[in-house]
Structure 1
Amino acid sequence: SKIQLMRSRVTSIFLYACESWTLTAELQRRIQAMEMKCCRKILHISYKDHVTNEAVRAKIQQAIGPHEDLLTIVKRCKLQWYGHVSRSSGLAKTILQGTVKGGRIQGGQRERWEDNIREWTGLEFGKSKRAVEDRENLRKLVAKSSVVPQRPSRLRD
């Protein structure tokens, strides 16, 4: 079907190098919006039709069955890559765990790559490094941490 074709083509292109992204709230919102825009385009549903996102998700679910949304896939890929790099001994591990002398730029705190890991796992960065050394622990951590809750539907009067 067209939906499965979209998911296979768009998803593979979209996820290229997603492991290196720092997911800010704005980027997460844009990922979800892009996915919904693609689904609406394939189903020929315009925003002018006043069909809710929940109804669009239900039609997709009915057409292809249960599936992961893009944000969940991005989180899972990032956590799996983190575990892979943490178990290795190469340059990627040195870069990931290294620090640079000096402070951060003036202004608001910018979110860092490791802040995502800390937020999703609920563990400090040092504890999470030890937790992912065992592949079975990593699988459990990824399964628990990569789930993205859907935004609650708005209450109407």
Structure 2
Amino acid sequence: MKLKVYNAVVLPSLLYGCETWTLYRRHIKKLELFQKRALHSILGIKWQDRITNLKVLDKAKSNSIEATIIKTQPRLIGHMIRMDGCQMTKCLMYRELQAGKRNQGRPKLRYKDTVKANLQWCRIKPGNLEGHAMDRSKWRGSTHKAVANFEEACSQKLTTARERHHRTASVVITTDFQCPQCPRLCASRLGLQSHLRVHR
């Protein structure tokens, strides 16, 4: 029941208007952190249980925040492309400013930059965007496919990182830097020199 309330009330309130957001990585991390804390609290999972975040999402039968945003933003883009040409939102989407200047430094992230990044998960090229969006069923299938591709890529990335971490942690360090005054083994010559201060 708590999960149903969370999915029906909390998540829509948290992501209200996310179709128009221009998010940096720090914003997504904060949203993901909120979701992790909420799901851990609802499911009664503590950090001592050593359950990965992927297993928590699978247990809650929920998608990550970034996957939800990747699903909703292309929906809005497809809806705006299918609008009449006189609609204000479509005019704002296709127009550009003729005059103006920006501050010195790296340009800020724009909305169309996030849309292009999300369309890569849909496997849609920007040149075929309008023709692809006219078919609603095909466009809806592309958004679902984008979520599946993103979740698969994230799980594979986290799994490989975890395996690499376990491999490096299981390596036994064999060194010849033994203390001449006690049976202590040091990992490097510098460590041995700092350990010898104890005997001084």
Larger radius of gyration between Structure 1 and Structure 2: 2
Q: What is the alpha-carbon distance in structure 1 between the residues aligned to residue 30 and residue 6 of structure 2? A: 18
Gaps of 5+ in 1: 61-65
For residues 69-80 of structure 1, the aligned pairs below 5 Å read: 69-80=64-75
For residues 57-136 of structure 1, the aligned pairs below 5 Å read 57-60=57-60, 66-89=61-84, 90-101=87-98, 102-122=100-120, 123=124, 125-136=126-137
Question: In structure 1, how many angstroms separate the alpha carbons of the residues matched to 2:13 and 2:136?
Answer: 27
The more displaced of 103-112 and 34-43 is 103-112
Letter in 2 for 1:68: N
SS in 1 for 2:3: helix
User: Could you tell me how far apart the structure 2 residues matched to 1:129 and 1:49 are?
Assistant: 48
Aligned-pair CA distance for 1:152: 0.3
Q: RMSD of the TM alignment (CA)?
A: 2.4
The question of whether the paired residues in 1 share the 8 Å contact of 2:20 and 2:73 is answered with: yes
- Displacement of 1:67 in angstroms is 3.4
Deviation at 1:24? 2.2
How many residue pairs were aligned? 152
TM-score by length of 1: 0.79
Report the Cα offset of residue 114 of structure 1. Answer: 1.1
Q: CA deviation at 1:93?
A: 0.6
Aligned equivalents of 1:139, 1:72: Cα separation in 2: 15
SS of residue matched to 1:38: helix
Sequence identity (%)? 22
- What is the Cα deviation at residue 112 of structure 1? 1.4
Return the letter of the residue paired with 2:74.
L
Q: In structure 1, how many angstroms separate the alpha carbons of the residues matched to 2:44 and 2:58?
A: 15
The answer to whether the 8 A contact 1:117-1:125 is kept is no
| TM-score normalised by L of structure 2 | 0.65
